[in-house]
Amino acid sequence: MIKLKLYNTLSRELENFESIHPNKVGIYVCGPTVYGAPHLGHVRGPIVFDVLRRLLDSLNYKVRFVKNITDVGHLVGDADEGEDKLQKQAKIEQIEPMEIAQIYTDMYNNVMDKMNILRPSIEPKASGHIIEQIELIQEIIEKGYAYHVNGSVYFDVDSYNKKYPYGELSGRIIEDLVAGAATQNRTLDGQEEKRNPHDFALWKKASPEHLMQWTSPWGKGFPGWHIECSAMSVKYLGKHFDIHGGGMDLLFPHHECEIAQCKASNDVNPANYWIHHNMVTINGQKMAKSLNNGIKVEELFDGNHDLLSRGFSPEVLRFSVLQAHYRSTLDFSEDALIAAEKGLKRLEFAESLLDKLEAKSNNTTTVTDLDESIEKALLDDLNTPIVIAQLFELARRINLVNDGNEEFSSQTIEQAKSIFKKYFRGILGIKPLSSESSDMLNQVIEFLINIRKTAKMEKNYPLSDQIRIYLQSIGIELMDSKEGTNWKFN
């Protein structure tokens, strides 16, 4: 049997995946900072790690999938300076920071549901784990890798680096960091308190007007951004778990700091495999406020954005994300989305033909090679573009059979159905296109058929004719037989 291989950022190599405990996998993925509506930059990670989770499920692992919600401590500058992102938004919207967190957590999860992303096994919030974070900071101080200054606590990178290599994940070395920090503005908030400019905050003293603050051994304050992920991953997955995931933008400083915090307190890198997905661009450009190209996910669904002439369904979005390998950059454009939609419809159509094909028993074409190559591609570091290419090849063969140019045995038809079910619907997680609206249409037509049946029984022929003629006028034909009434598109 072929083994699952994953690219580990830590070793910079493709490695065979081995779980720490037999048949169990613990995954921690850095979740959203909930202060705004999710945009296209937020969808790739969840889709990629959802496919990984579904793949591990299919390999009979019991997966515990933890994804946090950052609702405190993530500052506007993405480092130790600036205002808390939620607090800033709360002031703009003039509501409580926790209301901001609730509104945008709900919005985020709503978008995740639409894209058929399985909810995490555990979804811990930073604000609900202040005690765990304080305890972890205390441990790091006791071990000698952090220091307290004037109500704030900083991680002592130099003293850590004497025992552990700081920068092992990102490949950055202390000398570079020192040079980089020297060019920074030394008057930035808290910089003058640090022993070294590359030290980072574990706990920050809060000014009286700061909205979110808690009592700690160092006075009133709030946690740094990196400490929550160390505290919560260890709490729910143990000191040493299997997979830690996130975007490449989190590699440094966030994940580097997570490793340092965990090693400083537990003497072990928290995760065996560090998996990072690449970033997204819009029409070939990075997303930026000045370019007005930050498309929100809901805007993509309803087409309400200057860069779009119409909306695209969540299935199309999910499919288009999986058309690129997760370690390559992914470019969104309207043309790419239209192409993805066409491709998706082609696959769905081929899938629907399988119910109508007539099985033959001689000289039939097989699909076993595709079954094998799809599994192989998935196990090869989640190579979803190859999986999709093989699904298109399957669709091509189905069309040949449908056109009478080739033949399938009944066994092959069943195998083709199971490929769609297991890989296309199951692991890639693509729901039928607008299944909701076609379900509703079905129900409405069935309802009209029942009214017509009652009308006929009551000899109300004008009404029964009216229903039939109306449906015909919108392209739906009713077919009466002894068994009842069926319908089809005309």
Shortest Å, Cβ 434 to Zn ion: 35
User: Which range of residues in 19-27, 228-236, 275-283, 421-429 is near Zn ion by CB under 5 A?
Assistant: 228-236
Site for Zn ion contains 401 (CB under 5 A): no
233-262 mask for Zn ion (x: CB under 5 A)? ------------------------------
Question: Which of 51, 101, 146, 229: binder of Zn ion (CB under 5 A)?
Answer: 229
C-alpha 179: how far from chain center: 35
User: Which range binds Zn ion by CB under 5 A, 27-35, 179-187, 283-291, 310-318?
Assistant: 27-35
- The least distance separating Zn ion from the CB of residue 277, rounded to whole angstroms, comes to 14
List % helix, strand, coil for the chain (3-state, nearest 5).
Answer: 50, 15, 35
First to last CA, the chain: 49
Q: Which is nearer to Zn ion, 261 or 293 (CB)?
A: 261
Tell me 319's DSSP state.
Answer: H
Least distance (Å) from Zn ion to the CB of residue 58?
A: 27
Task: Please say which residue, 69 or 416, places its beta carbon nearer to Zn ion.
Answer: 69
In the complex, least distance from residue 107 CB atom to Zn ion, rounded to whole angstroms: 20
Q: Does 136 bind Zn ion (CB under 5 A)?
A: no
Q: Which stretch binds Zn ion (CB under 5 A): 30-38, 179-187, 337-345, 481-489?
A: 30-38
Cβ-based nearer residue to Zn ion, 249 or 334 = 249
Q: How far is CA 419 from CA 56, 409, 412, 428, 473, in A?
A: 17, 15, 10, 11, 38
Q: How far apart are CA 14 and CA 250, in angstroms?
A: 20
| Distance, CA of 467 to CA of 439 (rounded, Å) | 20
Q: What is the 3-class SS of 50-62, one letter each residue?
A: HHHHHHHHHCCCE
30 scored as a contact of Zn ion (CB under 5 A): yes
Q: Which of the stretches 24-32, 105-113, 120-128, 129-137 binds Zn ion when contact is defined by CB under 5 A?
A: 24-32
Between 243 and 427, name the residue whose CB sits nearer to Zn ion. Answer: 243
Cβ atoms of 295 and 332 within 8 Å: the answer is yes
How many chain residues interact with Zn ion (CB under 5 A)? 2
Residue given tokens 């101080």 in the structure block: 141
Cα–Cα distance for residue pair 274/248, rounded to 1 Å: 10
Q: What angle do CA 130, 132, 135 make, to 5 degrees?
A: 110
Q: Which residues bind Zn ion (CB under 5 A)?
A: 30, 229
